[in-house]
Amino acid sequence: MNKPLVNEYGSKEKLIVATAPLCGCFGCHMSLLDIDERILQLVELVEFDRSPITDIKDIGKCDIGLIEGGVANVHNVEDLREFRNNCDILVAVGACAVNGGVPAMRNQFDIKECLEEAYILGIGIENPHVPNDVEIPLLLDKVHPIHEVVRVDYFLPGCPPSADTFWKFLTDLINGNTIDFPYSLIHYD
């Protein structure tokens, strides 16, 4: 049993949830929205802080942080550390956050090979050059799952985790139940 995040009198203010997309495809965020009308129940219990859903850019103190995507560039590292510093509970959501996922397939190649293939040698490229604007975050040499950068409290596998997985996880967590996924909710694809 975890400690319930809402006490029995319901007197705690709404739980604060933040979400971040790092190096992913936004599929996990779409899957969260796929809980459909249950979102109305969810907003009774939680309030969203920084998230692409609210478009709030700066994170405050949060109860739960949901991270989609792996760590592929220096911005991802900064965002992830900021989330860890501000969230009591940090959750790796989806294959990319859990093990690097499809973006980590580039780990088979050197960064130079990746950039050259994308911007110089690829088919149909005009004005071949590797972009070097200072605004563009520097790529890391490898894409990492988030637990290789910060401590992670919970993992939600799936590409993406289904809406039911999100729902089961969030309701169990909020109600202080042990997170115990049935067979149908554990998958890596």
Partner 1 sequence: MNTENTFRLDGKDIPFKKGDTIMDAALRAGEYIPHLCHNPEFKPHGSCRLCVVDVNGRHQASCTLPAEAGMEVDNSSDAIRQRRELLLQMLFVEGNHTCPACEKSGACQLQAVAYYIGMLSPHLTHFFPKRSIDASHPDIVFYHNRCILCGLCVRASEQVDRKSVFAISGRGIDSKLVFNSPDGKLGGSELEFTDKAVEVCPVGAIMPKHLGYETPVGQRLYDTKPISVVGDVAAHSKPEKPFISDKSHE
Smallest separation (angstroms) from partner 1 to the CB of 133: 28
Give buried/exposed letters for 79-89 (b at 16+ CB in 10 A, else e): bbebbbebbeb
Contact predicate 155/91, CB 8 Å: yes
How far is residue 18 CA from its own chain's centroid?
10
Q: x-or-dash pattern for partner 1, window 146-185, by CB under 8 A?
A: -xx---x-xxxx-x---------------------x-xx-
- CA gap 93, 154 in Å, rounded: 8
Query: Whose structure tokens read 């994170």?
Result: 59
Q: x-or-dash pattern for partner 1, window 69-108, by CB under 8 A?
A: -----------------------x--x--xxxxx-xx-xx
Nearer to partner 1, 6 or 147 (CB): 147
Contact predicate 20/188, CB 8 Å: no
Neighbours of 103 (CB within 10 A): 18
Pairing of strands 71-73, 62-68: unpaired
Smallest separation (angstroms) from partner 1 to the CB of 140: 12
Nearer to partner 1, 50 or 144 (CB): 144
Q: x-or-dash pattern for partner 1, window 107-146, by CB under 8 A?
A: xx---------------------------------x-xx-
Q: x-or-dash pattern for partner 1, window 19-38, by CB under 8 A?
A: --------------------
Pairing of strands 71-73, 87-93: unpaired
Our CA angle for 129, 103, 136, nearest 5°, is: 40
Task: List interacting residues with partner 1 (CB under 8 A).
Answer: 92, 95, 98-102, 104-105, 107-108, 142, 144-145, 147-148, 152, 154-157, 159, 181, 183-184, 186-189
